[in-house]
Chains A and B, each alone.
Chain A
Amino acid sequence: MHLDRLELVDFRSYARAELALGPGVRVLVGANAQGKTNLLEAIHYLSVGASHRVALDAPLVRAGREAAVIRAGARVDAGTRALSVELELRASGRNRARVNGQPQPRVGDAIGRIRSVLFAPEDLTLVRGDPSDRRRFLDDLLGQRRPAYLVARQEYERVLRQRNALLRQVRAGQRGDTLDEWTAALVRSGAALLAARIAVAHALSGPADAAYRELVASAPGGKASGGVRLTYELSTGRGVTAEPGFGVPDVGGLAAELQAGVAAVAPAERERGLTLVGPHRDDLILHVGELPAKGFASQGESWSLALALRLASREVLREVGEDPIVLLDDVFAELDDGRRARLADRCEEFEQVLVTAAVDADVPLEGPRHAVLGGAVTSEPVARESLSRGDDHTMPT
Chain B
Amino acid sequence: MYEGPIQDLIEEFGRLPGVGPKSAQRLAFHVLTMDAADAERLARALVAVKEKVRFCVRCFNVSEQDECRICRDARRDPSLLCVVEEPRDLMAIEKTGEFRGRYHVLGGAISPIDGVGPDQLRVAELFARLGEEDITEVVLATNPNSEGEATASYLARTLKAMEVAVSRIASGLPVGGDLEYADEVTLGRAFAGRRAL
Contacts and interface: CB of A to CB of B under 8 A. Distances in A.
Interface of A: 146, 148-149, 151-152, 155, 158-159, 161-163, 165-166, 169, 174-175, 177-178, 180-182, 184-185, 192
B112 A148 contact: no
Nearest to B153: A181
Given A159-B146, A162-B147, A182-B150, 8 more contacts: A146-B184, A148-B187, A151-B185, A152-B185, A163-B112, A177-B118, A181-B110, A181-B151
What does DSSP make chain A's interface, helix, strand, loop or mixed? Answer: helix
A158 B146 contact: yes
A162 B153 contact: no
29 contacts: A146-B184, A148-B183, A148-B184, A148-B185, A149-B184, A151-B183, A151-B185, A152-B185, A155-B185, A158-B145, A158-B146, A162-B112, A162-B113, A162-B146, A162-B147, A162-B150, A163-B112, A169-B112, A175-B117, A177-B117, A178-B110, A178-B150, A178-B154, A181-B149, A181-B151, A182-B112, A182-B150, A185-B146, A185-B150
A300 to B, nearest CB: 40
A185 B147 CA distance: 10
Interface in B142-189: 145-147, 149-151, 153-154, 157, 183-185, 187-188
Contacts of B183: 148, 151
Instruction: State which size class the interface on B falls in.
Output: 20 to 34
Nearest to B188: A192
Contacts of A148: 183-185, 187
A165 B117 CA distance: 11
Nearest to A188: B149
Given A155-B185, A159-B146, A162-B146, A181 B113 contact: no
A161 B111 CA distance: 10
Contacts of A163: 112
Nearest to B20: A93
Contacts of A184: 153
Given A146-B184, A151-B185, A152-B185, A181 B150 contact: yes
Contact of B184 (A152, A159, A161, A182): A152
A199 to B, nearest CB: 13
B132 to A, nearest CB: 23
Interface in B7-45: none
Given A162-B146, A162-B147, A151 B111 contact: no
Contacts of B150: 162, 178, 181-182, 185
A396 to B, nearest CB: 39
Given A151-B184, A162-B147, A178 B118 contact: yes
Contacts of A159: 146
A185 B151 CA distance: 11
A43 B113 CA distance: 37
Nearest to A180: B157
Nearest to A158: B146
A188 B19 CA distance: 37
A159 B183 CA distance: 18
B146 A165 contact: no
A42 B59 CA distance: 54
B185 A181 contact: no
Interface in B124-149: 145-147, 149
Interface string B87-129: 0000000000000000000000011110101100000000000
A155 B150 CA distance: 13
Contact of A161 (B113, B117, B151, B153): B113
A159 B151 CA distance: 13
Contacts of A162: 111-113, 146-147, 150
The 8 tightest CB contacts between A and B, nearest first, are A148-B184, A165-B112, A166-B112, A181-B150, A165-B113, A151-B183, A148-B183, A181-B153
Contacts of A155: 146, 185
A148 B154 CA distance: 28
A173 to B, nearest CB: 13
A162 B145 CA distance: 12
